[in-house]
Amino acid sequence: MCGRFVSTHTAEQIADYFGASFEGEAPPENFNVAPTNDILAVVSDGDGLAVKHFQWGLVPLWAKDVKIGSSMINARAETIAEKPAFKGVFKKYRCIIPMDGFYEWQAANADSPVNAKGKPVKQPMFIHRVDDEPLAVAGIWSAWRDKNGPADAPWLHTCAVITTSANNTMAPVHDRMPVILPASAWAKWLDPATDDVEALQALLVPAPDSLLTMHKVSTDVNNVRNKGPELIEPLGDAESAGAKKQAAEPDQLVLGSFEAGQLPFDQ
């Protein structure tokens, strides 16, 4: 799964990188993006590509409460085109979620640091491109409005990250990873006229082994209140082994589901 990531590029930088437009104010840089945080994603808006505001964590059109989004941050590539919960959105409402990189937690072992109770803890890793360019992560989006609210209530736009099996670089840390789209796939992925499920699903594959690199970081990232650049600083082996306590473990979130209809964007 993908449960935390880094987003520090400005909206203008993201728009320039993807050849998109942007209007409005962007969220501040965030070195510890967590579920329900405000983020930016690239979509097709009918006039070309545009950078838009989203909340991370899909809120289904039928949801009674926006809180459901906190448990719907990821969608599995292997089943996204088959499950009724996702296939409609997969065919119509796709996006690219730019990331500087993402965090994953390596399982504890005999050499892991221990917490205050003497138990070994997971080691957070920061994973990013070897050239430090943004990751173009495949996503799906939805829109939601409180049915108990006024008829002119604003729409909430939300999104989820699509994950796939880990490549050889990621496998020692975790068995899943975000789908990272190459530039050659951006146009097809974002084109709303593309509804060939097999062609779309063929894009949802692990990234090349040589694309990513990673390093250990402090367990300070476990606390969602920590948002600063120190979170991605490399952690030396000696420092990691000598750690005696950690912040709270990151929330273990599960995949939810939803059914989509025709979703508005600019309302």
Q: Catalytic positions, please?
A: 2, 104
CB atoms within 10 A of CB 197: 14
Yes or no: say if 195 and 91 are a contact pair by the CB < 8 Å rule: yes
Residue type, 200: L
The structure tokens listed for 73 are 């941050």
The CA distance from 266 to 43, in Å, is 12
The CA distance from 153 to 165, in Å, is 39
Sheet order of strands, 123-129 included: 30-33, 4-7, 101-106, 123-129, 212-216
Longest dimension (CA), the chain: 59
Strands (E), 94-198: 94-99, 101-106, 123-129, 135-144, 156-165, 176-178
Contacts of 166 (CB under 8 A, 6+ apart): 173, 174, 175, 176, 177, 206
Contacts of 263 (CB under 8 A, 6+ apart): 61, 92, 93, 141, 142, 143
Q: Is 239 helix (H, G, I), strand (E, B) or coil?
A: helix
Cα angle vertex 52, ends 86, 80, to 5°? Answer: 15
Yes or no: say if 125 and 24 are a contact pair by the CB < 8 Å rule: no
